[in-house]
Amino acid sequence: MLGSLSIACECQVSNVVGARWAVALALGLRQGEALGLHWTDVDLERGVVSIRRTRSRPRYDHGCSPDCGKSPGHCTQRVQSNPDLGETKSDAGRRTIGLPEELVSMLRAHREQQAADRVAARQLWVEGDWVFTEVTGTPVNPVTDYHRWKALLKRAGVRQARLHDARHTAATVLLVLGVPERTAMGIMGWSTTAMAARYQHITDPIRATVASQVGGLLWEQETGLRNAN
């Protein structure tokens, strides 16, 4: 899955989607955390990003009277009932994460493309310092973001998965690589060790498989050398 998605992200480096999904897979940010990023949160020189806020999916109430009978989201006079932006949901969620060099390069290219979009949009550009925007500078709607994720999976030829599964993938990679639990907690924004424990049933078999492959390679070679002698 990771390989196919990486290729798909690289192919889309010239627009919002490539950098967006690279951030999801490499850093394991929650959807709201990624869409809530401002450029002031990103230090490409130091190679770090600070998570401070989260962008929410819009929820709606009926704005009509009497009730039109439609769901609130389809009411022609709907009224948004929740704020677009808020602080991260816990102290653990407010964190600073290191950026891989490859991701720094992608974000630089993304910022350059965004600058070109700003010039092309002219007076239609809405300045908000958002990292991930539409071509007129408005922040990406979480619902639109979700549909783009689904489209990416289809183009990459991998099974359909939830957007949150990108976060699970990032967490699994950290733990399989042997990153200390406390460090993984800091990167993922987990407040308790219970979250890391949830991945044990996934990471233990992977580690066992890797150990078996390494052992097979080394001892198979040793047996071959003995037979040759």
We report the CATH number of the domain holding residue 146 as 1.10.443.10
Give dist(CA 189, CA 167) in Å, integer. 11
If asked whether residues 109 and 47 sit together in one domain, one would say yes
pLDDT surpassing 70 at residue 8: no
Taking a C-beta distance cutoff of 8 angstroms, is the pair 169, 25 a contact?
A: yes
If asked whether residues 63 and 122 sit together in one domain, one would say no
pTM of the model: 0.73
Mean of the per-residue pLDDT values of the chain: 80
If asked whether residues 83 and 6 sit together in one domain, one would say no
Domain that holds residue 69: 55-87
Q: What is the DSSP letter of 36?
A: T
Domain limit, last residue, from 108, 136, 161: 161
If asked whether residues 83 and 96 sit together in one domain, one would say no
Q: Is 94 exposed, middle or buried (0-12, 13-18, 19+ CB in 10 A)?
A: middle
* 110 domain residue, yes or no: yes
If asked whether residues 106 and 44 sit together in one domain, one would say yes
Taking the chain, what is the end-to-end CA distance rounded to the nearest angstrom? 43
The secondary element (H helix, E strand) that includes residue 3 is helix 2-11
pLDDT surpassing 50 at residue 9: no
**pLDDT of 197:** 76
Please give the tally of structural domains in the chain. Answer: 2
Render pLDDT for 156-200 as a digit per residue (tens, 0 to 9): 787 888 888 888 888 888 877 778 888 888 888 887 887 777 776
* 167 domain residue, yes or no: no
pLDDT surpassing 60 at residue 21: yes
If asked whether residues 96 and 135 sit together in one domain, one would say yes
Taking a C-beta distance cutoff of 8 angstroms, is the pair 76, 108 a contact?
A: no
If asked whether residues 64 and 152 sit together in one domain, one would say no
To the nearest whole percent, how much of the chain has pLDDT over 70? Answer: 76
* 112 domain residue, yes or no: yes
Rg (CA), the chain: 22
If asked whether residues 15 and 109 sit together in one domain, one would say yes
Domain limit, last residue, from 142, 161, 180: 161
If asked whether residues 150 and 59 sit together in one domain, one would say no
Greater confidence, 62 or 45?
45
If asked whether residues 26 and 113 sit together in one domain, one would say yes
If asked whether residues 60 and 156 sit together in one domain, one would say no
